[in-house]
Amino acid sequence: MGGGAEMSEAHANLIDAARDAASRAYAPYSDYRVGAALLFDDGAVVTGSNVENASYGLSLCAETVAVARALGEGRRGGLDAVAVVGPADKGDGAPITPCGRCRQVLNEIAQLGGTDPLILCVGQDEVREVRLSRLLPHAFGPAHLNQAHLD
Ligand code: THU
């Protein structure tokens, strides 16, 4: 990983979970298989993989699927970290960062619980760690609608 710090076992396991999720991607059109794994403060991990559609524009990213699953399970916060893994054999090997829409979707569950999750962007030779607030500064979210910290 970049920066030299040792990665925690929980974060290493989270990356493994994201990689495993990527193997279950439904990505017949792009063949670009992505996995995301969300780590919550109770230790739970919720994963998602990208789900494409014959009507290409309707495709869902891995991060969005993971957040939808978590919210569907009743989770309303406590999001500590997110790992995102793309295919090892595609692109330039740079760490994969969530797309703009996924940043906003991640912000929903993060801001609901008042956390600023660490995003582990996995690349070929490095894991870039960046807070969601740096990926999406001055985010609009549930707090603007007085929905933060509510179940
Ligand atoms: N994709 C994700 O699942 N997450 C990202 O962060 C970037 C892109 C998906 C969308 C599409 O299915 C494929 O990767 C190629 O863009």
Q: Is the pLDDT of residue 11 over 80?
A: yes
What rounded mean pLDDT belongs to the chain?
A: 94
Whether 21 lines ligand 1, by a CB cut-off of 6 Å, is no
| Active-site residue list | 63
Q: Atom 2 (ligand 1): residue with closest C-alpha?
A: 61
The predicted model scores a pTM of: 0.94
What separation in Å is there between the alpha carbon of 114 and the centre of ligand 1?
26
How far apart are alpha carbons 111 and 143 in whole angstroms?
7
Whether 13 lines ligand 1, by a CB cut-off of 6 Å, is no
Q: Is the pLDDT of residue 3 over 50?
A: no
